[in-house]
Amino acid sequence: MTGEKPASADAATLDWGVRLLYLQCAGLVALTAYLIVLDLTSDDIIVAIAVSLTVMSALAALAVFAVARALGRRSVRARGPAIVVQLFLLATGGFLLQIGPRWAGAGLLALAALTASLILLPPSSRALGVD
């Protein structure tokens, strides 16, 4: 035995949750690229704040990528951090619903709720060996 868990139908919900985590990572990479462009082209920026925001965005992208990769490899220890990422996304979506753009807030809320649900469903738990 190699110690790997067998692939099963239970893994489908977890696989979709991991795909959505990778989608969130791609969104953070796009945000980081956008912030880099703003940092380089804006005339009236406070450099320390702009650079720190860009670095934090890049670090968040790396963290979400690491969590998605670990969860994709069926590490049960990655499930908690994946849910924390979704909680941050829910908070961001709620904030955007209040101040706008509302479409982005609604989208983030839906994405976070769907991802968290897929990760927490009983078939995902079985795929991780939690049951």
Supply 77's token pair.
Answer: 């220890």
Burial, 102: exposed, middle or buried (Cβ in 10 Å; 0-12, 13-18, 19+)?
A: exposed
Does residue 7 carry a pLDDT above 70? no
pLDDT at position 4 is 52
CA distance 81 to 95: 21
Tell which phi-psi region holds residue 64, choosing left (phi > 0), alpha (psi between -120 and 50) or beta.
Answer: alpha
Supply 23's token pair.
Answer: 């989608």
As a whole number, mean pLDDT of residues 24-28 equals 97
Residues in the chain: 131
pLDDT at position 68 is 98
Supply 73's token pair.
Answer: 């490899």
Supply 66's token pair.
Answer: 């690491």
pLDDT digits (tens, 9 = 90+) for 29-71: 999 999 999 999 988 889 999 999 999 999 999 999 999 999 9
Cβ distance 70 to 77 under 8 Å? yes
Q: Whose structure tokens read 């924390």? A: 84
